Amino acid sequence: MGGFSWPSEAEMDYSTKVVAEMAGVATKDVRLVLSPYRVCPLGAHIDHQGGAVSAMTINKGILLAFVPSGNPEVVLRSVHFGGEVNFRVDEDHHLKKAGKSYVNANGSTKSKEECSWGRYARGAVYALKCGGHILNQGIIGLISGSSGLDNSGLSSSAAVGVAYLLALENANNISVSPAENIEYDRLIENEYLGLSNGILDQSAILLSRQGCLTFMDCKTKEYKLISPSNLKGGGSNGAQKSYKILLACSGLKHALTSATGYNCRVSECREAARVLLDAVGRDEAEAVLSNVELQVYEAHKDKLDPILARRAEHYFTENLRVMEGVEAWASGRMDDFGKLVTSSGRSSIQNYECGCKPLIDLYEVLLRAPGVLGARFSGAGFRGCCIALVDSEHEIEAASFVKREYTKLQPELVSKIGEEALIFVCESGDGARVISSH
């Protein structure tokens, strides 16, 4: 089990032993799903409009230890949440909200706490059945996430959904392509959980490879991995510049599925697209901004009200930043790439109008930190953390600077999470996969 910086040997051993005891099997029979978190350097808030995005997975994420149950029963425990999830894969997995509990199709009730973390497993069953797969085997498992990074805006929800998909597919000997699993996780998030997000998160989690930038066109679903093997600092001497990924947590925690601001922004982008498409007689086209040509936007953007104009401006400028960023990355101009990341962050604040004072404070602190090449919000920008690319030679200095300066601005939030959970220095990692425990 060596060769991983995440999860650690201790994390894998603990999860393996717990599941072995739960299932009454040998530890060698336990399997592990590694489903990493992702960062999105460029391509903020445009995946749901069919825009172009970039992403990387990191060496932090979701660990799911499991064994096939030998029957349709699913039994799940969590390192971070109480209770035990129990259901069958041959049940109907449409849940109906009923007061403070949830009522399943067979009339049984589940506690709100249990369903709040168990619903992703049920959603995975729902998605696989929608894809025409027959599930005969449940799983017995233990799920955990990298400590301190829950509610961080690193797509932990997509990582959880992907983990359950891979485990259920493995247990039932179902062969599924990454493209199919991207769609299945979209079903979990969009249809089962009711979140109006795009496919960036699950695409990054399933497609990324260590050391590469993943580029994806969310309209065509085409993607490519861009190796950074020739990355340079962009200076006149062409010196190599290695980087680390700095995660700076704001201390804000909010469930994305209840953040009305997210779904509201998606609707505003669609409204902007509808106005622009109607202006050129394309009322039959789907109202997403990727269906609007740049020249159409330039010619008719004066028809948009101020709010819709800002949303459209973010989409078109961010799409351009992704294209320029891919070129900068491929040619080794890391400094230029970082500047584009910072510009993306600024547009998220000014044009997409997400974020709040703590997150904006954190973003501004990162921009002043030594060695930081670029920074922006992570995830939707309504909670969680900011990400920054930092020169490896300055990672310790930058982390200390951010801790000190952000604590001055938001002492109450920092006191709630502790300074040790404020900054994480990460590297890029591989995408989601199933491995044996030994």
Nearest-angstrom CA–CA distance, 87 and 103: 12
Q: Is 201 a catalytic residue?
A: yes
Residue pair 146/4 in contact (Cβ under 8 Å)? The answer is no
Identify the CA nearest to 160 among candidates 117, 199, 98. 117
Nearest-angstrom CA–CA distance, 128 and 176: 10
Token readout for 194 is 């009711």
Token readout for 44 is 């903020």
Q: Which residue has the tokens 């330039």?
A: 298
Beta strand 243-252 with 372-377 is: unpaired
Q: Which of 201, 336, 361, 391 is catalytic?
A: 201
Q: Which residues are catalytic?
A: 201
